[in-house]
A and B are shown apart, each in its own frame.
Chain A
Amino acid sequence: MKPVKKTQTRQDARQTKTSGGNFVDKLHAYRALHAHALFSSLGRLVASRFTSIMTITVLAIAISLSSGFYILVANLQQLTGNLETSNQISLFLKDDVSDAKANRLANSIRKKANVQEIKLITKAQALAEFQAYSGFGAAVKALEKNPLPIVIQVLPKNTLEDRQELENLLEKFNQEPEVDFAQMDMQWVKRLQSLMDIARRGSMLLSLLLGVGVLFITGNTIRLELHNRREEVIIAKLVGATNAFIRRPFLYGGFWIGFFSGVTAWFIVTVMMLILMQSVEKLSELYEGAFHLLFLGFTETLAMLFISSLLGVLGSWIVVNHQLQQLKPE
């Protein structure tokens, strides 16, 4: 009896070797395991539709908030970016200065060596422009007289980069008797830019916070699923499953949640941008068409999907690892 037993076990050992030891077979089996985990976790997500939709919606809102802020800041930055190049100075003339006087002043400024270009905006022009674009047309009509001053926009020569020279020029303009006050547009651009910087940092911080939120919401969802499949996990452990084997479907589950949240967030942001587009185009006219609404680009969309998927995987990884340490088969 004994020798028979021995050959039997040896045969078994050989069989295990050929089926388990062949590299190509192993690779196929490994790929099959991954494919199975990928699709079974998707199937599970579909099977518990209601819960999945709730979770994904919450995550999508968080992601769309941060990417919405990102795109908002990017759009505003585009605005300040356009203004950045100009050293333009605006001269607001006194109310009693006539158009003819203004013209004379404009001509004298034009002749200055360090001035590249000037533009005179008369009271009537300013009013027309204001009525057309500001949305206060009716209110302005109700006024008895035109409250807008004559403006001369002066663009200094590009060589005039030196800040001190610009200040000197500004000072000279301020001393002209017709000028109420001269203002360097640059100044409010600078202020705007530092405001933009705050907004940019703020949106980054917000994204960070929301990212952590996404991480933990995914983690919690996966924790619940792990809890529901506790029995299965324990049985798998008892028949020799490694932690990697148990972790795999949950990681894919986290991936799907993150990925679908990213896709949903893209839709939310895009729909919101489409709704905003009309009013933004009006605004763009005010800026003489220099402004075009930026949507989430290809790279940004890709980055958003990547980050949200990564957060999903990471969230479930943290939770599953933590739970596997606590989960002992009993």
Chain B
Amino acid sequence: MLKFENVSKRYPDAGDVLLNVSFHLKHGEMAFVTGHSGAGKSTLLKLIAVIERCSRGQIWLDGQNLNQAKDRQIPYLRRKIGLIFQDYKLLQDRTVFDNVALPLVIAGYGHQEISRRVRASLDKVGLLGKEKKYPVALSGGEQQRVGIARAVVNKPPMILADEPTGNLDPELSAEIMLLFEQFQQVGVTVLIASHDIALITKMNRRVLKLDHGQLVAS
């Protein structure tokens, strides 16, 4: 599903943020990316979502070489990935329904299909009945679940989460992790960047450990 081959990322002012990173994530696998802050976790996720391009090496996503992807193909690549953020990145002036529906609207789905899928997705994260609420009216945990519903509504083969529990207390974090496990169980590949060692240990999954841009454990 996802393959890194000697990937490096160099920023002109920060030097090598990632150095010779290689790993392979199989279809339906769930893994964590960890490391101290500034180790390159976020950069690694950005490379997968083609928010940044790597300086050296090769990245394959779902059989496609990301280096060769043209700019106009990027939107279609991103539709294969459900992105989840630490700060949720919800549209504050839109209802929960509209937030979750966004990827479907973008992909050009019909009205009925959108309505059906958004409900199904909200049901999965346990927020059915809150479609008409605005994000501000929700708790942090609920907002993150809206973010997750939006990430999976398009049924992407892969979920990328950048510190998804960074703003949540341990109890809520555990709930969110449970959700990720459920998605993994239906065949979605899940990659989560986190520095919450306690949580990662509890999950007992594959861990990609970064240290100063280098992969020290996989």
Instruction: Point out the residues of chain A lying under 8 angstroms from B49, CB to CB.
Output: 238
A5 at the B interface (CB under 8 A) = yes
Residue in B91, B105, B157 whose CB lies within 8 Å of A9 = B157
A160 at the B interface (CB under 8 A) = no
A29 at the B interface (CB under 8 A) = yes
Residue in B83, B102, B109, B155 whose CB lies within 8 Å of A29 = B109
Measured CA separation A48–B152 after assembly (Å): 34
Measured CA separation A239–B106 after assembly (Å): 8
Give the contacts of B136-189 with A (CB-CB under 8 A).
Answer: 150, 154-155, 157, 186-187
A291 at the B interface (CB under 8 A) = no
Residues A6 and B187 in contact, CB atoms below 8 Å apart: yes
B51 at the A interface (CB under 8 A) = yes
Residues B187 and A8 in contact, CB atoms below 8 Å apart: yes
Residues A33 and B72 in contact, CB atoms below 8 Å apart: no
Instruction: Point out the residues of chain A lying under 8 angstroms from B72, CB to CB.
Output: 242-243
Residue in A33, A231, A245 whose CB lies within 8 Å of B91 = A231
Residues B107 and A240 in contact, CB atoms below 8 Å apart: yes
Residues A240 and B75 in contact, CB atoms below 8 Å apart: yes
Residue in B76, B77, B108 whose CB lies within 8 Å of A30 = B108
Residue in B113, B186, B187 whose CB lies within 8 Å of A19 = B113
Task: Name which residue of chain B comes closest to A238, CB basis.
Answer: B83
A32 at the B interface (CB under 8 A) = yes
Give the contacts of A16-33 with B (CB-CB under 8 A).
Answer: 16, 19-20, 25-26, 28-30, 32-33
Instruction: Point out the residues of chain B lying under 8 angstroms from A15, CB to CB.
Output: 155
Instruction: Point out the residues of chain A lying under 8 angstroms from B57, CB to CB.
Output: none
Instruction: Point out the residues of chain A lying under 8 angstroms from B27, CB to CB.
Output: 5
Assess A25 versus B110: contact at CB under 8 Å? Given A9-B187, A238-B49, A240-B76: yes
Give the contacts of A224-266 with B (CB-CB under 8 A).
Answer: 231-232, 234-243, 245
Measured CA separation A231–B83 after assembly (Å): 15
Give the contacts of B48-93 with A (CB-CB under 8 A).
Answer: 49, 51, 72, 75-79, 83, 89-91
Give the contacts of B89-133 with A (CB-CB under 8 A).
Answer: 89-91, 102-103, 105-111, 113
Residues A239 and B157 in contact, CB atoms below 8 Å apart: no
Residues A240 and B109 in contact, CB atoms below 8 Å apart: no
Instruction: Point out the residues of chain B lying under 8 angstroms from A245, CB to CB.
Output: 75, 106
Measured CA separation A242–B107 after assembly (Å): 9
Question: Measured between C-beta atoms, what is the minimum distance from B197 to chain A in Å?
Answer: 27
Instruction: Point out the residues of chain B lying under 8 angstroms from A235, CB to CB.
Output: 89-91, 102
Instruction: Point out the residues of chain B lying under 8 angstroms from A25, CB to CB.
Output: 110
Give the contacts of A167-219 with B (CB-CB under 8 A).
Answer: none
Measured CA separation A19–B154 after assembly (Å): 12
Residue in B103, B105, B155 whose CB lies within 8 Å of A16 = B155
Residues B75 and A28 in contact, CB atoms below 8 Å apart: no
Question: Measured between C-beta atoms, what is the minimum distance from B106 to chain A in Å?
Answer: 5
Residues A12 and B155 in contact, CB atoms below 8 Å apart: yes
Assess A238 versus B155: contact at CB under 8 Å? Given A8-B187, A29-B109: no
Residues A240 and B186 in contact, CB atoms below 8 Å apart: no
Task: Name which residue of chain B comes closest to A30, CB basis.
Answer: B108
Apart from A243-B72, A245-B106, A330-B51, 7 more pairs, CB < 8 Å:
A8-B186, A20-B108, A237-B78, A238-B51, A240-B77, A240-B79, A242-B75
Can you give 8 contacting A-B residue pairs, CB < 8 Å? A2-B28, A5-B28, A12-B155, A19-B113, A32-B110, A235-B91, A237-B75, A238-B51
User: Footprint of A on B, CB under 8 Å?
Assistant: 27-28, 49, 51, 72, 75-79, 83, 89-91, 102-103, 105-111, 113, 150, 154-155, 157, 186-187
Q: Top 6 nearest A-B pairs by Cβ distance?
A: A5-B187, A240-B79, A240-B78, A239-B103, A242-B75, A29-B108
User: Footprint of B on A, CB under 8 Å?
Assistant: 2, 5-6, 8-9, 12, 15-16, 19-20, 25-26, 28-30, 32-33, 231-232, 234-243, 245, 328-330
